[in-house]
Every structure is written in structure tokens, then in C-alpha cells.
Structure 1
Amino acid sequence: MVNETPQVMTIAGTDSSGGAGMTADLNTFAAHGIYGANVVVSITAQNTQGVRQVQMITPDMVMAQLKAVADDLAIRAVKTGMLGDADTVHTVAKALQQFDFGPLILDPVMVAKGGAQLLSDAAVEAVRTALMPLATLITPNIPEAEVLTGMTIQTPDEIMAAADKLHAFGTQNILIKGGHGDAPVVMDYVRLTSGDHFWMKTTRFDTQRTHGTGDTISAAITAQLGLGLDLKSAIIAGKAYVDATIRDGILVGHGYGPLNHLAVVTAQNQPEVYDDI
């Protein structure tokens, strides 16, 4: 009877306003009916208007948390969020090679919604070399994909070329999120090692309440994997969930408000899936 309840984990920073980071991940896990463990790598003082201060947790304490979870829980899938610096990235990479936490969803959080840089230049290189080869899926938005690849990405062909380059770094599967910008539709691109690749299309919803969107979709995919879905189905379900959390908004804060993690997914939220555009 021990550890029969499905369990997943987030390795991320806190958000004192509750909208992003570890809090968004745990809210997403709970909304999917799955148990969530959390390893804290940083503490942030932030709200919907921006990040005010960041305090990193020591690498020894990060490793101690990871070992404590590994010694007792049965984690089926794990995601990373804001990792902050190169020492933390290398610590997490070492633990992921030492402990079996299931598939890794890597959300390369680099810049907060308000513009604050959350990943140092040295940490970006550590993500490329130490963490990306371990990832089952990486979920950058277009600006993050530009940093990781060194490319300018504006067209569908450039998005696909960026996915090729990310794959060359060792990542198995890629989801490049197209939500930045102001186009009337959002097009996300997925490339899988199976050879399958597709686009997910949703209609843009005009709102500033999008704080924690990247955390939420990666956490939703992690939760779906923990519940037993295959990767393609988990990605599509994660996209539908985050669309629902944006459309069924809540009124919190004066800036980029948080999502509604208790939103109910309906047929309206299902993305249109295309092999080509």
C-alpha cells in the first residue's frame, strides 16, 4: 500500500505572491488530482508587478532536499523551473543522474513576466551542457529558445530550425511556445523523437493575467505523465489546461495577474493540432 498514490515533483523557486514558480506548479498538480513534492532552490520577493529580490538556497541544501525525497517517495515525473545559477543547475543535474525521478520536463525559466533576469549567463550554458541532455522534454518560449540556440526566431521555418538545434544539444523532445507577441492566434510547435511533429493552435485571449503561464503548462504536462499519459497526449492536455486557466481568469494584483488553476477544461480549450502550417 506504500506509495501507491501517484506522485510528481517540482524543483523551482518560490513566488511570494503565489502566481508562479513552485506555487503554480503545486496548484497545477493538485488541480490534476496528483500529489506534488517540491524542492526549493530559491526564495523570491515578488508580486504581479515584478521581482524585487532573489535569495538562492545553497547547493548542499538543494541536494539534501532531493535526497530526502528520493529516500522516501516514488516520484513518477519531475519538472524544473527557475534554477537561478550554474551551481544549482549542476547540483540538480547530478541528482537527476543519481536518483530515478522519472521523465524530466525542463522549463528553462530565464526572464520573469515583468522583465527581471532569473537565469545567469553561466547558468544558461550549464542548462545547455548539463541539463538539456537529461531532459525528456524542454519547454522554452521563443525568447528562451533564442537564447539557448543563439538564433533569431520569427517565422515557422525558424521555429522548426530552432527545434532541430535544441535536439542537437541532446534534448529528446521539444515544445517551443509561441505565446509571446500579439498575433490573434498562438501557435506552439512540438517535435518528438518518434519523428512526430505538430503545431498546436489556440485563439489568443486578451488579458494581462498570464503570470506563471510557462510554469503551469510544464507542470500540467508533468502531472499528466505522472498519471500515465503518453508524452504527446500529455502535451496536448497541458495546452488545453493552461488555455482554460487563462480564459477563466481571477482578479488578483495590479500587474500581470495569476492564472486560475481551478479552471475546468472544456471543449473550447482544446487546441487545434496540425502537422504543418
Structure 2
Amino acid sequence: MTTTTTPPVVLIIAGNDPSGGAGVCADTQAISALGCHPAPVITALTVQDTLNAYRVEVSDPQLVMEQAATVLDDLPIAAVKLGLLGNAEIGRAVAEVLESHPELPVVLDPVLVAAGGARLAEENLIQVLKEQLIPISTVVTPNASEARALAPEADTPQARADTLLELGAPWVLHKGADEDTPAVDNILFGAEGRREDFRWDRLPGQYHGSGCTLASAIAARLASGQDAVEAVRQAQDWTWRALHSGWRLGKGQHIPNRLPGR
């Protein structure tokens, strides 16, 4: 008789991207490829492709809350990944559910703007992120523009990260892929001055869903029992390889290759 070990379960709370490049499709592919079971809660339907986003239709906050609460009650959730939330009402609903599960590691990807520049979330979500969601998150993964939006008074990655750390997050991964630098410099900041620097070769072109992929990979690693630093390290390596072997399926950005056996 063969004994099968059940996989760790990752609760995903994010929006749907019909191109399959970002959103819950990216999340479920990455989490599955890393040996975990994805449990997706849909916060919004979007009209978008590999070029840009054109419309966001958010879910009813109560429906989002009920989806998450039902899954949390039924499945042995080992980690949570938060992506597109859309507005303050959904943000507050998600915070209310997760505050009842302080034992769970949470990876917050503060999605505010699409890769093509379109706004994906209402401005009022930023305050909810700062007051309710960042304080209960284990790792926050803003790109440079998101970090600037969350910490507008800060003028360096260190200062932006310090602002978010002071809100209660133990770890902030400040991502540099969108910066005009020869290489991609990602920096993991932690409490008490902890800092881990990561440098990755900059690949040609742009990628749709790279942030979703990375945050989900971190959540999968945390769900599998790794500590935050090692989870971030291994997730970045896996994501870089997914980007390196990615493909241009549409008319816009490349899509990471998150399929097993790439």
C-alpha cells in the first residue's frame, strides 16, 4: 500500500485575470508547482490582457468573507497569500477573517496598479492596508511604486521598509524589478535592522504576473515549514527561473512559465 502525504494548503485571496498571467491563475499555478494545494477566494473579476487592465468589478465584501471563512473552517490552511483586494471594504472584510487566525503566516502583495499602468484598487484601500492588513502580515512584498504609495514621505528603500515594519509586519521584501537599474535588486528588511540583499540578472522584456508568482511562491514555502528568510530566498530563485523560461503568449508582456518540469 502506498501512503500519500497530504500537501500543505495555501489560502489565496485575490482577483481573477482572464489572460492567466496574473491573479489567481498565477497563484494557483505557482502554489501547485511547489507542492501545495491552492484554495482560491475571488475578490474581483477584471478585464485585462497581457498589455493592461481595463476594468475591475469587485466582489461583494460579505461574499469574500464567507468564502474565506468557509475554507478556513474546513481545510488545514498552512499559509495565506493576499493579492488584489480592490477596495477598502474588501480589505476590512479580509482583515476581520484573518484576525481570528493569528497563527497563520500571511504574504501580502499590495496590488494597486497593473503592469500596464492601470489602477486596480481604489485609493481608500491604502489606509486599510496600513492600519489592518500590514500589521497582521508576515511578509509584505511591494514593488518600488507600491512602496512609495504606502510610504510617500520616505525616499529610500530602507526608509520605506522601516515605515511598513513600524506598522507591525516582521518582514518587508522591497522589489526592484521596476527600477531603472542594471540588475534587479530585491532587499528583505526585518526587525532590529536585519537585512538580506538579493541581486538577480535583469531579463529582457517585461513580465505579466511576476509579483503574484513571487508572493505565491513565498506563501508556498512558508506553508511547507520554511522560515521567512529561506522562503524568500528560495521563492525568488524559483520565480527567476519561471521568468527566464517564460513565453510571450499574447501581444504584450511575457508570462512566467510556472508549469512543473519546465
The interval holding the TM-score normalised by the smaller chain is: over 0.9
Partner of 1:257: 254
Distance 1:151 1:3, change over 3 A: farther
Partner of 1:69: 71
Partner of 2:135: 133
Shift of 1:45: 1.4
Shift of 1:100: 5.6
Partner of 2:215: 218
Q: Look up the SS of the partner of 2:57 in the other structure.
A: strand
Which residue type is aligned with residue 242 of structure 1? T
Structure 1 gaps of 5+ residues are 266-277
Q: After superposing the two structures, state which structure 1 stretch, 30-39 or 161-170, moved more.
A: 161-170
Q: Report percent identity of matched pairs.
A: 35
CA distance in 2, matches of 1:151, 1:22: 32
Which residue type is aligned with residue 80 of structure 1? L
Choose from 157, 160, 169 the match for 2:158: 160
Partner of 1:190: 188
* Contact 1:244–1:264, Cα closer than 8 Å, also in 2: no
**1:94-113 correspondence to structure 2 within 5 Å:** 94-99=96-101, 102-113=104-115
Partner of 1:274: none
* Contact 1:75–1:101, Cα closer than 8 Å, also in 2: no
Distance 1:100 1:129, change over 3 A: closer
Partner of 2:90: 88
Q: Look up the SS of the partner of 2:191 in the other structure.
A: coil
**1:263-274 correspondence to structure 2 within 5 Å:** none
CA distance in 2, matches of 1:239, 1:3: 26
* Contact 1:44–1:54, Cα closer than 8 Å, also in 2: yes
Cα deviations by residue, 1:176-224 (Å, 9 ceiling, x for unpaired) = 001113322111111123653111001101123x100111100000001
Distance 1:66 1:3, change over 3 A: farther
* Contact 2:205–2:254, Cα closer than 8 Å, also in 1: no
Shift of 1:95: 0.3
Structure 2 gaps of 5+ residues are none
Partner of 1:269: none
What is the number of residues matched between the two proteins?
Answer: 260
Q: State the superposition RMSD in angstroms.
A: 1.9
Distance 1:2 1:262, change over 3 A: closer
Which residue type is aligned with residue 163 of structure 1? A
Shift of 1:50: 1.4
After TM superposition, what 4+ stretches of structure 1 lie above 6 angstroms from structure 2?
none
CA distance in 2, matches of 1:3, 1:99: 24
Partner of 1:44: 46
* Contact 1:250–1:260, Cα closer than 8 Å, also in 2: yes
Is 1:145–2:144 an aligned residue pair? no
Partner of 1:205: 203
Is 1:25–2:27 an aligned residue pair? yes
Partner of 2:235: 238
Q: After superposing the two structures, state which structure 1 stretch, 101-110 or 215-224, moved more.
A: 101-110
Partner of 2:123: 121
Which residue type is aligned with residue 135 of structure 1? S
